[in-house]
Amino acid sequence: MPAEAARVRWRLDLGYDGAAFAGWATQIGQRTVQGDLELWLARVLHLDEPPRLVCAGRTDAGVHARGQVAHVDLAPGLMPDPAVLTQKLNRVLPADLVLWRVSAAPEGFHARFSAIWRRYAYRLSEPDAHAHPLYRNQLTALRQPVDLDLLNRAADTLLGLRDFGAYCRRREGGTTIRTLLELRAERVTDGPLYGVIECTVRADAFCHSMVRSLVGALVEVGTGRRDVAWLEKMTSGAVRDPAIPVLAARGLTLEEVRYPADAYLAERAREARTVRTTVPT
Amino acid sequence: MPAEAARVRWRLDLGYDGAAFAGWATQIGQRTVQGDLELWLARVLHLDEPPRLVCAGRTDAGVHARGQVAHVDLAPGLMPDPAVLTQKLNRVLPADLVLWRVSAAPEGFHARFSAIWRRYAYRLSEPDAHAHPLYRNQLTALRQPVDLDLLNRAADTLLGLRDFGAYCRRREGGTTIRTLLELRAERVTDGPLYGVIECTVRADAFCHSMVRSLVGALVEVGTGRRDVAWLEKMTSGAVRDPAIPVLAARGLTLEEVRYPADAYLAERAREARTVRTTVPT
């Protein structure tokens, strides 16, 4: 049996203010969420080298997370009580990164491939519906007000399984076929974000810059600068059209990642690893 | 009739992230809320010199405001449509300062002296009830958990009219007699601040550092480090005891200032200008 097989998998639930991170993924010479977390895990667990983390959604520079999920494989016996590790890590982690929980990963769990959907929120403030300055780092300010009915009617046309190549920065060997499960915008009616437009975007998975392009296109329609015919034309394109604005990272938060019941984790991971190349008709 | 009498009074409602301000009051060589607002008012209204603003609560460096109120007296005809001025100012004001509304002040209105009460919130996060990092600049992190029942029972003993000299940094010629109308702590059960302890502190007026000392003393009792007998002893002191911790500014927000019905504005201002020197028995 190879040494790898003897490792134990742990699930980490975490949140961060993305403003001062160059995104999730480790980059040489840059401060990243993965980099900070791997470094502090190694220090607290007295490891010779940082363990490798795998996350559910590799957020870009400036994007926040409330419900990021990651996993790490460790040799048995390395992990103290997970609650104690959570406490210890939160004492040393920088103030813009918090670990909600560490738990033993169930059999078959893979932070990225076992997930059945990811939910993002994109938050917009309109010119005269002032959001409080304390929240400005999680909002994108619009220059024009938005007609939410118009925006939501356009959003409905984008739901379902399709090639979202028109909304993605293409990556070599990757697919841009996704199932968009939810896309709608609402004004927040209560609490500190009162008046803010909150766009919920939920899909089985996302490709690079997809949420920010989708909301960017919808804002074009919601402000009346473009119509649904334009949106349809854009959506049918195979590659990203520069006419679709990619909104700023600061408005975006990874809110939640959902996994199936434990019994289906491995099956879901096998399914998700299979690259889709065609949309069934 | 003197020129002063011909001026028109305007009410300004505003909010700010206090982190990068050296407080409300203008100080030479420092960035202040009053300084920024007076500067931009002068520029937008094309005045030769900045108009003088009077506010309801002169917040300290680092203290935030959601419901700050100020007034400014201008020569008649200087003010464009208040809604237009609000728009124009918000376009130029720095991102940590927002003007909610400009309106004509009713007869007898004085931002400071007409107020009947001020309400502050002080927000605390406990060691294991992690608040999201996006909100860390408006929270003070506690090193120990707090028993809210214990804290609230202690808080009840402080309500009413008394000399709060024990909780105030004394100022020459000022009184420290105040009526504390509300003092209680609750855990937030919903929204982005879920789990945070929110202390509501409401009084007719406050003296310098009063909210932060009051909550500081209550946290001593709530964590079990001190008891109610200690609190009583502290409260009976005429000057601030260094044993009472003054909590960090970042946790404090001026939430709301309340004024009486228009007919009572002038009367209330006359009453508030009278310095109280004794507590009626």
Computed over every residue of chain B, the mean pLDDT equals: 92
Q: Helices in chain B by DSSP H: which ranges?
A: 33-44, 82-92, 148-156, 210-222, 228-235, 265-273
Region of B160 (left: φ > 0; alpha: ψ -120 to 50; beta: rest) is left
Q: How far is CA A152 from CA A159, A185, A195, in A?
A: 11, 6, 17
Looking at chain A from residue 14 to 73, which residues have their Cβ under 8 Å from any Cβ of chain B? 15-17, 64, 66
B95 touches chain A (CB under 8 A): yes
**Alpha-carbon span B168 to A204, nearest angstrom:** 56
Q: pLDDT-based confidence at B1, cuts 50/70/90?
A: very low
- Reply yes or no on whether the pLDDT at A3 is more than 80: no
Q: How far is CA A63 from CA A27, A57, A217, in A?
A: 16, 11, 19
Query: Chain A: residue nearest B134 by CA?
Result: A17
Query: Chain B: residue nearest A143 by CA?
Result: B91
pLDDT-wise least confident of A146-150, B4-8, B178-182: B4-8
Chain B neighbors of A95, CB-CB under 8 A: 133, 136
B178 touches chain A (CB under 8 A): no
Residue B121: which of B182, B229, B54, B198 has the closest Cα?
Answer: B198
Second CATH level (architecture) for the domain A117-259: 2-Layer Sandwich (3.30)
For residues B228 and B153, is the Cβ–Cβ distance under 8 A? yes
Predicted pLDDT at A1: 44
**Alpha-carbon span B182 to B161, nearest angstrom:** 11
Active site residue A13: no
Over residues B173-195, mean pLDDT: 90
Topology match between the domains A3-104 and A117-259: yes
Strand ranges in B51-209 using DSSP code E only, listed in sequence order: 53-55, 64-74, 97-104, 117-125, 140-141, 160-163, 177-187, 197-203
Q: Where in chain B are the domains?
A: 3-104, 117-258
Predicted pLDDT at B192: 82
Chain B neighbors of A96, CB-CB under 8 A: 133, 136
For residues A174 and A196, is the Cβ–Cβ distance under 8 A? no
- Reply yes or no on whether the pLDDT at A75 is more than 60: yes
Read off the amino acid at residue B220: E
Predicted pLDDT at B78: 83
A17 and B138 within 8 Å at the Cβ level: the answer is no
Query: Among B60, B190, B204, B241, which one carries the catalytic annotation?
Result: B60
B128 touches chain A (CB under 8 A): yes
Predicted pLDDT at B110: 97
Chain A neighbors of B191, CB-CB under 8 A: 190-192
Tokens matching residue A266: 């491995």
Chain A neighbors of B97, CB-CB under 8 A: 133
Tokens matching residue B66: 């959601």
Angle at B253 between CA B59 and CA A96, to 5 degrees: 115
Q: pLDDT-based confidence at A132, cuts 50/70/90?
A: confident
Predicted pLDDT at B80: 83
Predicted pLDDT at A175: 86
Write the pLDDT tens digit of every residue in B49-88. Answer: 999 999 999 999 999 999 999 999 999 988 889 999 999 9
- CB hemisphere CA count around B208 (13 angstroms): 13
Write the pLDDT tens digit of every residue in B199-218. Answer: 999 999 999 899 999 999 99
Predicted pLDDT at A79: 81
Q: pLDDT-based confidence at A122, cuts 50/70/90?
A: very high
- Of the candidates A130, A133, A138, the beta carbon closest to that of B134 is on A138
- Reply yes or no on whether the pLDDT at A275 is more than 70: no
B132 and A192 within 8 Å at the Cβ level: the answer is no
B87 and A127 within 8 Å at the Cβ level: the answer is yes
**Cα of B240 to nearest chain A Cα, Å:** 31
CATH topology of domain B117-258: Alpha-Beta Plaits (3.30.70)
Bridge-based pairing state of the strands B160-163 and A97-104: unpaired
Residues 6+ positions from B63 with CB-CB distance below 8 Å: B18, B23, B249, B252, B253, B254
A138 touches chain B (CB under 8 A): yes
Write the pLDDT tens digit of every residue in A6-64. Answer: 889 999 999 999 999 999 999 999 999 999 999 999 999 999 999 999 999 999 999 99
B78 touches chain A (CB under 8 A): no
Q: pLDDT-based confidence at A4, cuts 50/70/90?
A: low
Write the pLDDT tens digit of every residue in A172-211. Answer: 777 899 999 999 999 998 888 888 999 999 999 999 899 9
Domain B3-104 bears CATH identifier 3.40.50.1400? no
Predicted pLDDT at B179: 95
